[in-house]
């Protein structure tokens, strides 16, 4: 839309200019259009990066919520342990919490591994495309 407006303005001005001035105007217009395209591409890239950061933050918040939930269930009573059965109960409660945390952390580590692998694939494909476009392969 902006490029069409620039083109329209440029066309209306070109009519009243000398051929040399028209050439200069066309060159400046082309340069400005390239700057506009580059800016748009940079903005889209930044937006994608920020969207990925939001997803990672949401995953982190979910992980934190799950960890807090497991830890809240694992708090033994305030009274001192007087019997063997109470001690075993507390040990079992803490063991269940540790197992739950272990599962959550393994799942989170797996998600991070997948995200890094996907980022590597993207970088690799961009690299291959760049090499092909400049004639290395």
Return the C-alpha torsion angle 124, 128, 134, 135, nearest 10: 150
Structural element, H or E, at residue 82: none
> Looking at per-residue confidence, does 124 or 17 come out higher?
17
What is the C-alpha to C-alpha distance for residues 36 and 38, in angstroms, rounded to an integer?
Answer: 5
Contacts of 76 (CB under 8 A, 6+ apart): 90, 93, 94
For residue 17, is pLDDT > 50? yes
What is the C-alpha to C-alpha distance for residues 27 and 10, in angstroms, rounded to an integer?
Answer: 11
Structural element, H or E, at residue 7: helix 2-14
Alpha helices per DSSP H over 19-135:
19-73, 84-133
Is-contact 22 14, C-beta < 8 A?
yes
What is the C-alpha to C-alpha distance for residues 101 and 113, in angstroms, rounded to an integer?
Answer: 18
Per-residue pLDDT band at 96 (split at 50, 70, 90): confident
pTM of the predicted model as reported, rounded to 2 decimal places? 0.53
Contacts of 97 (CB under 8 A, 6+ apart): 70, 71, 73, 74
**Burial class for 59, CB neighbours closer than 10 Å (0-12, 13-18, 19+):** middle
Per-residue pLDDT band at 127 (split at 50, 70, 90): low
> Looking at per-residue confidence, does 59 or 119 come out higher?
59
């Amino acid at each position: 839309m902006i490029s069409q407006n620039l083109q329209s303005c440029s066309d209306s001005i070109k009519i009243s200019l000398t051929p040399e001035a028209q050439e200069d105007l066309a060159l400046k217009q082309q340069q400005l259009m390239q700057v506009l395209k580059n800016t748009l591409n940079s903005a889209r890239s930044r937006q994608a990066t920020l969207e990925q950061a939001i997803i990672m933050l949401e995953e982190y918040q979910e992980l934190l919520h799950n960890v807090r939930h497991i830890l809240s269930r694992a708090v033994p009573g305030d009274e001192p342990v007087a019997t063997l059965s109470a001690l075993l109960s507390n040990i079992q409660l803490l063991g269940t919490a540790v197992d739950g945390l272990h599962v959550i952390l393994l799942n989170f580590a797996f998600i991070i591994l997948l995200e890094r692998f996907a980022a590597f694939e993207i970088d690799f494909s961009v690299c291959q495309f760049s090499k092909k476009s400049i004639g290395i392969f």
